[in-house]
Amino acid sequence: MELLPRYMADWRSIIEGTAIGILQLMHPPLGTAVAEQSAFFDDPFGRIFRSIPQIWATVLAPDGEERGRRIRDLHRDIKGETGGRRFHALDPETFWWAHATFTQLVLRSVERYHPPGELDPAGWERLYQETVEWYERYGVSSRAVPTDLAAFRAEFDRFCAEELEMTPAAERSLFIARMGEPDVLPVLPGSVVRAGRPFLRRWGARSTVGHLPPIVRERFGLEWSDVDQRRLDQAVTATRLTFTAMPRSLNRSTFLLALRTTGARTRGERYQPAA
């Protein structure tokens, strides 16, 4: 891998993370599993803070392949029923959708927050193929994985148009984003988070809803105006310019430090399979 580690060791790789998290929760098996088999409704953001350092480490850490297998094994006992159908976390389509949302997160980060034209068509295809290699580190069935970038985009769009639902977990997450929660973030003092609550409320609603695919906003009646879009585009442009001016070494070092810090603070709270 060459491109994927470069783009994932970057603050821009997680900017649209709240929208991607909601897309995960809109897939009924994932939304049901999170709601029923974790403390999601009591600690909705804890899942994100516990998961991102582990998942990013499957690419960025020297023992990434071993970490991927460990993540797979954590999902062996996660199963249940939704809509009258049984599901298992390692079902190929379910596991792929969780990975697909992270693939989309990385692709979007390059499209939106890196200089235009940074990748040519061959570069985009190479980046996608590296996300397939990333998926293979989990050691699960690749049956559901699209073979190329065009097929991935088509299947991702189909999922958004046909497979997703407004699950209770997704609905709760949208409410949280609009209200500017939570009060505590692992990498910031609580007082800083509370002081920034007015900004978090405005940005949370605009960023989360605005970064959802248009078909998802339309299907579930999420309000979004032309004014909202202009303001979001302005924020994206400002963010892109800010990161373009930032030394890459500073971007990378602070992001990796934040991942390590968050991982260390949440290690004791991570999901443990039943004995």
| Residues 202-245 pLDDT 10s | 666 778 899 999 999 999 999 899 999 999 999 999 999 999 99
**E runs forming strands in the chain:** 79-82, 85-88
Under a CB-based contact definition with an 8 Å cutoff, are residues 185 and 191 in contact? no
Given the structure tokens 């999901």, which residue do they identify?
271
User: What residues contact 79, with CB distance under 8 A and at least 6 apart?
Assistant: 33, 86, 87, 88, 89
Residue 273 clears pLDDT 90, i.e. is over it:
no
Euclidean distance between CA atoms 21 and 85, whole angstroms: 23
Secondary structure string (H, E, C) spanning 173-204:
HHHHHHHCCCCCECCECHHHHHHCHHHHHHHH
Under a CB-based contact definition with an 8 Å cutoff, are residues 157 and 213 in contact? yes
The pLDDT value given to residue 1: 81
- The amino acid that residue 12 corresponds to is R
**85-88 and 79-82: which strand pairing?**
antiparallel
Q: Which pLDDT band holds residue 194 (cuts at 50, 70, 90)?
A: low
Q: Which pLDDT band holds residue 163 (cuts at 50, 70, 90)?
A: very high
| Lookup: tokens for 167 | 């699950």
pLDDT in tens, 125-155: 999 999 999 999 999 999 999 999 999 999 9
